[in-house]
Structure 1
């Protein structure tokens, strides 16, 4: 299992501070750099990596440590440097070694560690005769715990498992090699929304340990077995048998917490004056009363919100796609998944903003129609779907059944209304009365589908989509 210890320090760990931390293993261990210098490794005499220290990065977004490490986490005032120290529990000394490396960084720089109990400043010796009898491939690191022909398995034990830089790197590597990424966690762990999205597509899985059934899929509840080098539903020998669902997954207590999700596409003409992110800013401001506070390419989200920097990154990566995340202020849970791609006709922004509300809080459903009108008139809206579901306010994903979202409304932008034909688009074969938004000569159509309490709204949406597609809408 991979164990993580994180040092949070008010100043950047320089080379001397990192070396002082690595000296926690005494003089008998090797220090190497890997991944173009982005990772420093402490190795056993036989070459096996015992501890990997990621390049520190500056977190300038309030609330990120508390969101990912738990409320009450000790965090330096203001901005701080986040340094991850990882190790494998295959060698008992390695876990204590990681705690000593992080503890020394925090002691030298006046910071804190997570988890607090892991930090020491002791010298931890490793066996001098090595821990494996075979050579270790160059560039190996204690990040993937099991690697087979089909699957990369990561064993994680944080309370909240996030889409960190190193997990993103592993995910990219599995795509390149045609493998699945499977993350194995204890039953009390939760995922962040960005990681859930990354794992929701086949062949990736969230595998949850369970004393009753062994393992199950944390997103579907399917009971799993380790077979042929991967976690998969047990073979039944009959195509008609249904995959059993773990009791722990189905045993979910009802909750009054809810999540409001706004998914929309904006299409811009490609020109030198294009600024990305303005539509995200508008939606965030209208629904929460404040702008996004941070953005980044992984978690923790570390950069202050800036449409200019976001645009610069997308230009640098063009014509390739750009995927970023955005987060709101502490106290108002809000996360956005933001994808920017070059498409026929310009540059598309595909955004899903999810907001969390506690029992007794009222999602701002009445603000949706005026918000949509502002997107129609000022932001080249293509489509927009709003949905509501019963799920955790903090936007984390437990390994339990959660009710699927129920659509509240759908909006078709002016360009597609014109392509479908206004007369056809205004007369769907369902009991829905669309609202015209924007200029009367070139309107968009907003279709209310319900209040989020009736799952039959999905049937209305499917019928509406079939009606529009039948007129040539793709």
Structure 2
């Protein structure tokens, strides 16, 4: 496994501090930059990367180091400086660890993980070289084949870091899948889960009993034909096409944790006065009593919540879409992804959001209709799906089975209701009557459903509703 090492410091590592860290391999090592100067690399004699160092990031949001690393950082704000050791290179991990240890020592901070960052001594690097690789331009990619880019990670939570986001983008642009390989016990951030494309992309988990398996489906995997692929007929039974499921994936124990999931779209006319993120903030306030804590274009989310600054960034990147991650306070786990897209008619926001609740904590289901009405009347809601599921309070995606969510309600915005002929939006085949939202002249509708996480029949109700609204 490769190692990521991170220095968490109250002071920004200045140029001399970073240089002292980079001299962990001795003064004869070469240096280079990539990613428009945002990444510094320590090179071998053949100019191949041994360690890649990201530019320091100022984190102004509490709880991110605890959520993603299980580490105790300095008080907010603090600087997050990340280094990644190249796969398969002897002592590259020691180089990265010494770099982080030196930076933490000189900038009065700490380093993660502690076991990799205990020494400040120069690492003997004579004869150490990195293998040639066509992925050298992408420090995050460990193996590149014609079909996939493989990223090997050993950290408690696989987060949508800036360099992993670059790996997603590079794989897509080269028509490859992205496969993330982790040890057992690692979890995914919901931001990574939501961005992981379909086949052949997948999350590959190392397992003592089955070798490798897909962390999202449990399918046993093997490296074959240049990628990790499912194992079919491991016993050579020609008439049995079933794919075996890893034992570890099936070992689940009930915890009593719940997640309330909210997915919605809102569309706004193009207007210089438009401020984005208001709909998301409305949901957060209605369901938690407070606004989001922070946001960013990668994890860790490093900026305090500010719809104005978020809007400025989205406008500066238009007409290209912009993706954001938004997080809540440590006391009430919440995480959202927001995609802002310029359309022919204006600007569209697409939000996927979840809040976590432990045993004895009740999700605020009574607030959902009121929240929906606010989105309809103030934020031009197009549609929204509300779900409840039995899943971890901390929102991390584990490598074992978690049941699907069940629909609590579906909301259709006023413009969408207006586009449905006759009175079909109001008269549905569901047993419960829809709740009208907004003014009578331009109604939107809230369609309540049973919402029992132990009963999946709610999806049949949801399908009946959607087919009815489409006129099928």
TM-score by length of 1: 0.95
Q: Which residue, 154, 160, 163 being the options, matches 1:157? A: 154
Q: Which residue, 164, 171, 175 being the options, matches 1:174? A: 171
Residues 49 and 140 in structure 1, CA contact (< 8 A), matched pair in contact too:
no
For 1:428 and 1:274, locate their aligned partners in 2 and report how far apart those are by CA, in whole Å. 35
Q: Does 1:197 pair with 2:194?
A: yes
How is 1:103-114 mapped onto 2 (pairs within 5 angstroms)? 103-114=101-112
How is 1:307-346 mapped onto 2 (pairs within 5 angstroms)? 307-346=307-346
CA distances 1:249-291 after superposition (whole Å, capped 9, x unpaired): 1121122001001111111011111111111111100100100
Call closer, same or farther: CA 1:412–1:141 in 2, change over 3 Å. closer
1:262 aligned residue? 262
How is 1:39-438 mapped onto 2 (pairs within 5 angstroms)? 39-70=39-70, 73-119=71-117, 120-128=119-127, 130-131=128-129, 139-140=136-137, 142-236=139-233, 241-421=241-421, 423-438=423-438
Call closer, same or farther: CA 1:434–1:239 in 2, change over 3 Å. farther
Q: Which is further off, 137-146 or 180-189?
A: 137-146
For 2:422 and 2:200, locate their aligned partners in 1 and report how far apart those are by CA, in whole Å. 42
Residues 341 and 348 in structure 2, CA contact (< 8 A), matched pair in contact too:
yes
For 1:311 and 1:394, locate their aligned partners in 2 and report how far apart those are by CA, in whole Å. 28
Residues 232 and 244 in structure 2, CA contact (< 8 A), matched pair in contact too:
no
Give unpaired runs (5+ residues) of structure 1. none
CA distances 1:13-64 after superposition (whole Å, capped 9, x unpaired): 1211111111111122111212221111111112221111111110010110
Secondary structure at 2:276's aligned position in 1?
A: coil
TM-score by length of 2: 0.96
For 2:379 and 2:421, locate their aligned partners in 1 and report how far apart those are by CA, in whole Å. 21
Residues 138 and 167 in structure 2, CA contact (< 8 A), matched pair in contact too:
no
Call closer, same or farther: CA 1:293–1:229 in 2, change over 3 Å. same
Call closer, same or farther: CA 1:243–1:137 in 2, change over 3 Å. closer
Give unpaired runs (5+ residues) of structure 2. none
Q: How far did 1:423 drift?
A: 1.7
For 2:41 and 2:230, locate their aligned partners in 1 and report how far apart those are by CA, in whole Å. 37
Secondary structure at 2:204's aligned position in 1?
A: strand
Residues 47 and 136 in structure 1, CA contact (< 8 A), matched pair in contact too:
no
For 2:106 and 2:415, locate their aligned partners in 1 and report how far apart those are by CA, in whole Å. 59
Aligned residue pair count: 467
Secondary structure at 1:292's aligned position in 2?
A: coil
- RMSD, aligned α-carbons: 1.7
Q: How far did 1:383 drift?
A: 0.6
Residues 65 and 75 in structure 1, CA contact (< 8 A), matched pair in contact too:
yes
Call closer, same or farther: CA 1:240–1:137 in 2, change over 3 Å. closer
For 2:193 and 2:133, locate their aligned partners in 1 and report how far apart those are by CA, in whole Å. 32
For 1:219 and 1:138, locate their aligned partners in 2 and report how far apart those are by CA, in whole Å. 26
1:18 aligned residue? 18
For 1:340 and 1:126, locate their aligned partners in 2 and report how far apart those are by CA, in whole Å. 47
Call closer, same or farther: CA 1:343–1:239 in 2, change over 3 Å. farther
Q: Which is further off, 304-313 or 344-353?
A: 344-353
Q: Which is further off, 220-229 or 136-145?
A: 136-145
Residues 262 and 353 in structure 1, CA contact (< 8 A), matched pair in contact too:
yes
For 2:139 and 2:424, locate their aligned partners in 1 and report how far apart those are by CA, in whole Å. 59
Secondary structure at 2:319's aligned position in 1?
A: coil
Call closer, same or farther: CA 1:227–1:139 in 2, change over 3 Å. closer
Q: How far did 1:151 drift?
A: 1.0
